[in-house]
């Protein structure tokens, strides 16, 4: 899953949210110096990724893209799914997305000192362009996909993936809705078991 889903699946626990958000910027077990609940957020992120990567519905979404994007198809599906979460946000939260996102950016700024360097480098762009709020519209997703394509030196051709999203929009949305219901249940169980340890 992409950024917004990982933040949401931290169940409003600030320290878990931080770890769950920046876990991709932590290699191996190089997080033992961090506060305990942030470590648990990193572990929760990894559990979510494992569940997601092996789920048949996600694989079905990914398979639709594989011919055009090869191994990048999984990354594209993560971005699509964040779009559907943002677009249908009121189905999942009583807090308006704009307020939720602002609170999250405040959390990052309040904890800037403990963020990994890669997160610190990314953060100004994320906030300035308001990535999380802009996931809700296709223009925002198009910008993300273009940015990802540039990062792969145009090898991924991800800049064309907006066309696949538009062509198969309702298939991807139905797959997201079905899968995300299961992912919330799974993540909540993992959250509870990690916090009990």
pLDDT reported for residue 46: 95
Residue 63 class from Cβ within 10 Å (0-12 exposed, 13-18 middle, 19+ buried)? exposed
pLDDT in the model for residue 30? 82
The helix-helix angle for 117-128 and 97-110 (nearest 10°) equals: 140
Residues 182, 193, 90: CA angle, nearest 5 degrees: 40
pTM of the complete model: 0.95
Domain residue extents for the chain: 3-195
Backbone torsions φ then ψ of 12, nearest 5 degrees: 65, 20
Helix axes 36-53, 14-22, angle to 10 degrees: 50
The contacts of residue 78 (CB under 8 Å, 6+ apart) are 1, 2, 5, 52
Q: What are the angstrom distances between the C-alpha of 173 and each of 23, 27, 82, 189?
A: 26, 32, 10, 24
Residue 50 neighbours by CB under 8 Å, 6+ apart: none
Going by C-alpha positions, the residue among 89, 60, 82 that lies closest to residue 148 is 82
Q: 131-153 as b/e, with b when 16 or more CB fall inside 10 Å?
A: bbbbbbeeebbbbbbeebbeeee
E strand or H helix at 89: none
pLDDT for 84: 98
- List the chain residues with pLDDT less than 70: none
What's the confidence (pLDDT) of residue 29? 84
In this structure, are residues 83 and 169 in contact, taking their beta carbons and an 8 Å threshold? Answer: no
- Asked whether the CA dihedral 159, 27, 135, 172 is positive or negative, the reply is positive
């Amino acid at each position: 899953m992409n950024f917004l889903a990982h933040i949401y699946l931290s169940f409003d626990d600030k320290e878990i949210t931080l770890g769950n958000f920046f876990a991709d910027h932590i290699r191996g077990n190089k997080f033992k110096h961090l506060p305990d609940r942030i470590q648990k957020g990193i572990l929760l992120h990894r559990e979510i990724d494992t569940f997601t990567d092996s789920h048949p519905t996600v694989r079905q979404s990914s398979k639709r893209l594989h011919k055009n994007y090869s191994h990048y198809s999984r990354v594209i599906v993560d971005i699509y799914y964040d779009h559907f979460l943002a677009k249908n946000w009121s189905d999942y939260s009583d807090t308006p997305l704009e307020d939720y996102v602002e609170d999250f950016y405040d959390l990052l700024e309040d904890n800037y000192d403990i963020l990994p360097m890669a997160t610190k480098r990314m953060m100004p762009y994320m906030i300035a362009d308001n990535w999380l709020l802009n996931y809700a519209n296709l223009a925002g997703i198009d910008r993300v996909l273009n940015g990802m394509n540039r990062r792969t030196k145009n090898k991924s051709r991800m800049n064309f993936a907006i066309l696949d999203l538009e062509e198969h929009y309702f298939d991807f949305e139905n797959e997201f809705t079905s899968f995300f219901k299961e992912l919330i249940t799974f993540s909540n169980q993992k959250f509870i078991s990690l916090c009990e340890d």
